[in-house]
Amino acid sequence: MLTSHTESHHDAVPLLYLTSAVLMLSTVTPVMKEVVRHRDMSPFEVVSLRIFIAFACLFLVTVAGSWKELLNFRWMDVVRLTLLGILGVGLAYGLAGWALLYINVTHYSLIYSLHPSFTALFSFLMKKDRLSGLKITGILLSVAGCVLALPEGFHDLTMGFGDALVLLFTISASATIVLSSGIVKRYGAAITTMVMFGSGLLFLLLGGMVWSVPYSLHMTRANSPWIAYIGIATAAVFLLRNLSLKFLTPTTVGAFHNLTPVFGILLAYLFLDEPVTLQMILGGTTALVGVEFARRG
């Protein structure tokens, strides 16, 4: 009896890590939309603070644990991680924050649901994986479902522009995962992500100087907790997801991750009064089925 109870406990803890990561990831975009819309902060401010806080959290985790691995970094890997941080953190998160000026959380979540499909496609293009018939079907289904769910983007130029920004963000994030996989396996996830967040933050700050973006942060008592949550949740999602991967299979983790857009749309409907139509439900369901095909193929 004691052994059975212990095994069920060991099974429950990783699932708790994974569930917490999915729920946190689902809340980040609605909170960012709320801050951009009602808390007098620009997307640049929100994204910069998000990356800074996440970097600080990851830095503390690295210092407390695997900081000695920094001494083993090869200079070419540092250069690669710096460039990947610019692509997958600074540029990608900047595009995502900018997009929230033009579209709602529902559109954002539906397009971001293509993330696993793009990851599978890039894995094939970079010869890290084979493209089976099931994966091809899944990628086509997920894209078709997204097109079905987002008809407004084809008629409203402003919303279409926002959709395009999220699509670029999703593509950048997917490419970064595939390109960084080898380095992550070599040095560990925490320390490599910290380096990428650091270079991504530097890219944003330098970009702000070049484009004369004002650095006066409109931090108030009202918006400070929201900003802190966005940054801490960004780091926590990464840490919890990797903790769960020590005990659960990638298939299980991927299946739970597919719930992120579902929860994001639900939260937007409940707290941001965003409409959900039958067409969105049908298109979103088709996209998720396609994503699952692409992941299993």
Q: Do residues 93 and 47 make contact, with C-beta atoms less than 8 angstroms apart?
A: yes
In a domain, 26, yes or no: no
| Counted domains in the chain | 1
Q: Do residues 276 and 269 make contact, with C-beta atoms less than 8 angstroms apart?
A: yes
Side-chain-side CA neighbours of residue 234 (13 Å): 26
In a domain, 20, yes or no: no
In a domain, 64, yes or no: yes
In a domain, 288, yes or no: yes
In a domain, 250, yes or no: yes
In a domain, 234, yes or no: yes
Structure tokens at 296: 């299993």
Instruction: Between 247 and 84, name the one with better pLDDT.
Output: 84
* Cα dihedral across residues 163, 168, 174, 177: positive or negative: negative
Mean pLDDT of 89-110: 92
The pLDDT value recorded for residue 1 is 46
Angle at 238 between CA 9 and CA 81, to 5 degrees: 140
Q: Which residues have C-beta within 8 Å of that of residue 194, sequence separation ≥ 6?
A: 55, 58, 59, 61, 62
* Separation of alpha carbons 99 and 108, rounded Å: 8
Q: Is the pLDDT of residue 107 over 60?
A: yes
pTM of model > 0.75: yes
The pLDDT value recorded for residue 105 is 92
Could you list the residue range(s) of the whole structural domain that residue 134 is in? 38-296
Closest CA to 90 of 198, 227, 209, 192: 198
DSSP E strands: which ranges in 139-297? none
Give residue 225's identity as a one-letter amino acid code. P
Dihedral-angle region of residue 127 (phi above 0 means left; psi in -120 to 50 means alpha; beta otherwise): left
Closest CA to 231 of 86, 39, 12, 35: 35
In a domain, 28, yes or no: no
**pLDDT tens sequence across 68-81:** 777 778 889 889 99
**pLDDT tens sequence across 42-71:** 888 889 999 999 999 999 988 887 667 777
Lowest mean pLDDT among 33-47, 73-87, 208-222, 252-266: 208-222
In a domain, 25, yes or no: no
Q: Is the pLDDT of residue 165 over 90?
A: yes
Q: What does pLDDT average to over the chain?
A: 82
